[in-house]
Structure 1
Amino acid sequence: MNDLAPLLTPEGRALLDEVRGTDPAQELAVATRLRRAHPAELVSAALGQARLRQRAVAKFGAQDAGRMFFTPNGVEQSTRASVAAYRARRMRELGVTSVADLCCGIGGDAIALARAGIRVLAVDRDHLAVAAARANAEALGLAELIEVREADVTEVDTSGYDAVFADPARRGGRGRIFDPEAYSPPLSWAIQAARTAPRAAALKIAPGVPHEAIPSDAEAEWISDGGDVKEAVLWFGTEPGAVRATLLPGPRTLRGGDLPDPAVRPVGRYLYEPDGAVIRAHLVAEVAGQVGGGLLDATIAYVTADELRPTPYATAYAITDHLPFNVKKLKALLREREIGTLTVKKRGSAVEPEELRRKVRPQGPHAATVFLTRVAGAPAMLIGHPA
């Protein structure tokens, strides 16, 4: 079904309520029963929407996901609600009262902006996504703040809005798109649109964007949620040239201080694993400064130090052993210490964690973490546990 309209009718809504939470193993039996009283296409659409809602719980929470409407791409590409809410709060703190949301998809960012009290024009050229965005604004009681328009974003006049938010499509028929100029629309167009915004603008981009591709008049922010890097954002109208890493929940924000790269030093009592947003933002030096540490290797984002200094921007591990890389020695050490639960982390190593687990076959009541990495250029294994 290429139209949400049948699901928005009283019959469609009743079906959605009836199939809510359907176990995938029971779908065939449920579909067979419901097709006796309803059109087969409508039943299939309702069951498909129920599956999408179940997938969307991780991003939107059970309450919102159970009322919203989704497309397969919408579930995959939507911003996690916690990240969208953080960005909306930043917009509000910048004094923004109206936003043109370009490439709005199913409306996740527009919802967050509206909940922050901001008036939104949500634009997308995908007919089904626009239908979902409009239905979501109504379902969540935000229709008065969100105007949804089906149009080519490059042809929309945004001059009547304080700010622009753009989320260019970064997926094509062959999967993810890594070249910013292959985004739809291209990143260069989005940057020009952002520069014309009267008060502020934010462009959501892939977290792996090369730093050299960031314009000098933009602030670059990398955002992680629960330790997972979710996105990078280019902000205009804030702090040109600034770099920050923001960790959710919190938020906790680490700002760049133009520090030199930390020195390489011997393995200390503690290893600090910086959050992924910190690493993407190239702010490992700031973490090393906070904990009084240095690097294990000039090319590896692991910090080592002799003291335990808590920081929200890195996870600390107490290191018990430092060995050259050797599977037999690791296996013997794990057997001696009766370690059965082995967490494997790696940076700068080609060894796959599952492959290592199969070879060492950990057994016993104790737990440990092994880091496969390089120390001053040499392959090494560090064994420890969360501090």
Structure 2
Amino acid sequence: MTPGWEELATPAGLGLLDRIAAERDAGRSLDAVSRALRAAGVEPALLAAALTQEELRARAVAKFGERARGMLFTRAALEQATRAEAAALHAERFRAAGCARVADLGCGIGAESLALIAAGVAPLPVELDPLTAAFAAHNLRAAAARAGAPAPEVRLGDAEALGPGDADGAFLDPARRTAGHSDTRRLASPDDYSPSLRFAFGLAERLPTGVKLGPGLDRELIPETAEAQWVSVDGQLVETGLWFGPLARPGIRRAATVVRDGTVAELTGPDDAADAEARGIGAVLYEPDGAVIRARLIGALAERLGAGMLAEGIAYLSADHHIPTPFASAFRVVAELPVRERELRRALADRSIGALEIKKRGADVDPAQLRKRLKLAGPHRATLILTRAEGRRVALLAERL
């Protein structure tokens, strides 16, 4: 264990973190704060850990909002921690299913348990790593105090050995990286996850169970009994959730959940949707959200929008009229430009386009390198979509709607 980190959860460590935060709020740089505290005789290992923790707290605001300023993190646990918006959706499933006590097996720094507390559900957190468990205990004590609820005890040990205890529901976020607090690597095989998928799916046979996995989950691993939900938050695809028992909604086996600016929209289906027929280039092009693509609900979205596939096997939709939707970005097709690079550069120069967003599907091109070669100049902005339509390569000049 890196020296100094254990002390962060002690009164002395928390006091040092408060002092650093106050200095930063007063406008002092992290380097200036570090020099001052070293001169004041703060133990070097504790100071190094506290300064790193201040950086982690700043990064964690994107996931947890301003309450991150009072939380404790390790690098690895912050990376895997569920975003607050997604964790709130998880907790609401358990609340709606009537679960009063939910085992959070592999709780990390406590993201899921925080959401359960906020939803009025008692978490029973379990964590294998001692430092992460200590940090989770700190985070959950503060949340419980705000909610007027008892502070949950974080059980230290292997989730598979300890099990769910007397919980009436279980949530698992299996570790998908090697053990450690930083510089971890992603595990290639689901057999190496901790807790294992075999344990998680076995638990689901006897308890209402939710399992959070990566958004690129191999779909062959999804049990027939599960509702599979892909979640994106503010345009970023963040997770696959598998829900079992009363947590899985009747008649729904595929769900794409899109969270933008705190607003939740959902597209669901009883199974994968068949793709719409290809129809070629229309006046409007839609790029489905990553959750819709992963859930294989592009055909269901096309039906809502009166759209067709721009080309078979390519995740762009084409339509004659624009219908606003939370499930896709929409573009007005301005013109079809030449595909050959020299002629494309000339066409963009003729339009004085100096800032160009380049999107591609079904095109073998590096957008960053292409942008350099195009030598853009001018006051106008546009989007260039490189893809295939009607059996050929196309370059579409577009503007976001």
TM-score category (smaller protein) = over 0.9
Mapped contact 1:4–1:131 kept (Cα < 8 A): no
CA–CA separation in structure 2 for the residues paired with 1:311 and 1:51? 37
Structure 1 residue 339: deviation in Å? 1.2
Q: 1:229 to 1:67 in 2, by over 3 A?
A: same
Question: What residue number does 1:30 align with?
Answer: 33
Q: Give, as a single letter, the amino acid of the residue that structure 2 aligns with 1:181.
A: D
Mapped contact 1:3–1:128 kept (Cα < 8 A): no
Q: Aligned match of 2:385 in 360, 368, 371? A: 371
Q: 1:3 to 1:215 in 2, by over 3 A?
A: farther
Q: Aligned match of 1:144 in 116, 136, 150? A: 150
Structure 1 residue 280: deviation in Å? 0.6
Does residue 233 of structure 1 match 2:241?
yes
Does residue 179 of structure 1 match 2:189?
yes
Normalising by structure 1, what TM-score?
Answer: 0.93
Q: Aligned match of 2:264 in 251, 267, 277? A: 251
Q: Aligned match of 1:59 in 57, 63, 67? A: 63
In the TM superposition, 1:124-273 aligns within 5 A as 124-142=127-145, 144-172=150-178, 175-197=185-207, 200-237=208-245, 238-239=248-249, 242-248=253-259, 249-256=262-269, 258=271, 259-273=273-287
Mapped contact 1:294–1:304 kept (Cα < 8 A): yes
Question: What residue number does 2:371 align with?
Answer: 357
Q: Considering only aligned residues, what root-mean-square deviation do their CA atoms show, in Å?
A: 2.1
Structure 1 residue 286: deviation in Å? 0.8
Aligned length: 384
Identity of counterpart residues, as a percentage?
41
Question: What residue number does 2:331 align with?
Answer: 317
CA–CA separation in structure 1 for the residues paired with 2:291 and 2:369? 27
In the TM superposition, 1:269-288 aligns within 5 A as 269-288=283-302
Q: 1:233 to 1:131 in 2, by over 3 A?
A: same
Mapped contact 2:125–2:154 kept (Cα < 8 A): yes
Q: Which range moves more in the overlay, 283-292 or 185-194?
A: 185-194
CA–CA separation in structure 2 for the residues paired with 1:47 and 1:317? 44
Q: Give, as a single letter, the amino acid of the residue that structure 1 aligns with 2:399.
A: H
Structure 1 residue 158: deviation in Å? 1.7
Normalising by structure 2, what TM-score?
Answer: 0.90
CA–CA separation in structure 2 for the residues paired with 1:299 and 1:279? 11
Q: Which range moves more in the overlay, 13-22 or 351-360?
A: 13-22
CA–CA separation in structure 2 for the residues paired with 1:351 and 1:25? 44
Structure 1 residue 213: deviation in Å? 1.6
Q: Deviations over 1:296-329 (max 9, x none)?
A: 1211100001111222211111101224522122
Q: Deviations over 1:36-75 (max 9, x none)?
A: 332222222221211111111111112x111111111111
Q: Which range moves more in the overlay, 297-306 or 315-324?
A: 315-324
Structure 1 residue 139: deviation in Å? 2.6
CA–CA separation in structure 2 for the residues paired with 1:362 and 1:257? 47
CA–CA separation in structure 1 for the residues paired with 2:34 and 2:382? 48
Structure 1 residue 190: deviation in Å? 1.2
Does residue 49 of structure 1 match 2:53?
yes
CA–CA separation in structure 1 for the residues paired with 2:367 and 2:277? 28
Mapped contact 1:2–1:128 kept (Cα < 8 A): no
Provide structure 1 residue ranges, at least 5 long, that are not aligned to the other structure.
none
Question: What residue number does 1:17 align with?
Answer: 18
Q: Give, as a single letter, the amino acid of the residue that structure 1 aligns with 2:131.
A: L
Q: Deviations over 1:347-375 (max 9, x none)?
A: 12221111111111222121111111111
Q: In structure 2, the residue corresponding to 1:12 is in which secondary structure? A: helix
Q: Deviations over 1:154-200 (max 9, x none)?
A: 11232511211000011127622243222222212211122221xx2
Q: Give, as a single letter, the amino acid of the residue that structure 2 aligns with 1:59.
A: K
Q: In structure 2, the residue corresponding to 1:345 is in which secondary structure? A: strand
Q: Deviations over 1:217-264 (max 9, x none)?
A: 000000000111010000001247610000113211101255432111
CA–CA separation in structure 1 for the residues paired with 2:274 and 2:386? 26
Mapped contact 2:229–2:241 kept (Cα < 8 A): yes
Structure 1 residue 146: deviation in Å? 2.3
Q: Which range moves more in the overlay, 127-136 or 237-246?
A: 237-246
In the TM superposition, 1:77-116 aligns within 5 A as 77-116=80-119
Q: 1:80 to 1:347 in 2, by over 3 A?
A: same
Mapped contact 2:88–2:115 kept (Cα < 8 A): yes
Q: Aligned match of 2:311 in 297, 317, 322? A: 297
Provide structure 2 residue ranges, at least 5 long, that are not aligned to the other structure.
none
Q: 1:178 to 1:282 in 2, by over 3 A?
A: farther
Mapped contact 1:324–1:379 kept (Cα < 8 A): no
Q: Give, as a single letter, the amino acid of the residue that structure 2 aligns with 1:16.
A: L
Q: Give, as a single letter, the amino acid of the residue that structure 1 aligns with 2:47.
A: V
CA–CA separation in structure 2 for the residues paired with 1:255 and 1:217? 16
Q: Give, as a single letter, the amino acid of the residue that structure 2 aligns with 1:186.
A: S
